[in-house]
Amino acid sequence: MKILDCSGASPILISSACARKWRGVIDASTGEPCDLNIERPSTHYDRACLSAFYNNGIVALDNSEVLVLFTDSDCHIWLPELNIIMCGNWLPSSDQLASALWANPLMWRCMESYPLLCNSATDLSRDLNEEGESIQTTLLSGNYLVDSTVVSNGTYSGTAHRFRLYSN
């Protein structure tokens, strides 16, 4: 099972076609990395953090929607059999996920099948093919209802993001 470590940055879902345009913490006007600034966003990372400050959010990139996932976790796993991205250091049981209270629904348009799960701080124009920088999902193009839940087993907790195809 492949794990994406975002080291505190929000994970994003982005189409392969748009991924090379995502510059992460790089300021496009200077080509230099910048510190986070949500008051005056100048990078894709700034806009991602601003859009997912309390809940999942969307950042426009060209004619595509980049989904930004809200989480406090560093590690992220794609669970293809459930259409879930699990954020945290453990995997809940099917029963825990089935009985969870799912909330904060958001409609997201997946423009291209098999979007990539990536670190929002990464400059994907350079690092997309680096080992561990992305996970290819099995989502197909279409409109998705994305909702989230926090699950816990008493020792560990994490955020699960569920993707339900709404329409093609």
Domain hosting residue 31, numbered range: 4-167
Total number of domains in the chain: 1
Q: Which of 106, 67, 167, 127 is nearest to 76 (CA)?
A: 67
Q: Is 110 helix (H, G, I), strand (E, B) or coil?
A: strand
Rounded to whole angstroms, the Cα distance separating 136 from 139 reads 9
pLDDT in tens, the chain (168 residues): 788 999 889 999 999 989 999 999 999 889 999 999 989 999 999 999 999 888 899 999 988 999 999 988 899 999 999 999 999 988 999 899 999 999 999 999 999 999 999 999 999 988 666 666 899 999 999 999 999 999 988 888 899 999 999 976
Task: Identify the burial level of 98 via C-beta atoms within 10 angstroms of its C-beta, where 0-12 means exposed, 13-18 middle and 19 or more buried.
Answer: exposed
SS3 content of the chain, % helix, strand, coil (to 5): 10, 40, 50
- pTM for the full predicted model: 0.93
